[in-house]
Amino acid sequence: MAGEEIKVGSVVQLKSGGPHMTVSQIGHGQYDDYASAWCDWFVQDKPPWKQEHGVFPMTSLKLIG
């Protein structure tokens, strides 16, 4: 993944671990001085899936696959 950057549609994971997430938006929060990624993911491996979402600093994410 060297040389690739995180963008909308990228699959990412927190550097500390956790589920694979899809980036849906990149920008700055209302009070943030740093770039953030809005991410979506599912918490169960079979239906009914529960969608979750969160906002994470770009520096806390790594590209997957």
Residue 43 falls inside a structural domain: yes
Residue 11 falls inside a structural domain: no
pLDDT confidence of residue 63: 97
Residues 4-63: pLDDT tens digits? 899 999 999 999 999 999 999 999 877 778 899 999 999 887 788 899 999 999 999 999
Residue 8 falls inside a structural domain: no
pLDDT confidence of residue 4: 85
Q: How far is CA 31 from CA 9, 50, 52, 61, in A?
A: 24, 29, 22, 20
Residue 12 falls inside a structural domain: no
pLDDT bracket for residue 2 (50, 70, 90): low
CA nearest 55: which of 4, 14, 10, 9?
A: 14
Residue 56 falls inside a structural domain: yes
Task: Note down the domain range covering 29.
Answer: 21-63
Predicted model pTM:
0.85
Domain count, the chain: 1
Does 3 score more than 70 pLDDT? Answer: no
Residue 2 falls inside a structural domain: no
Within 10 angstroms of residue 61's Cβ, the number of other Cβ atoms is: 19
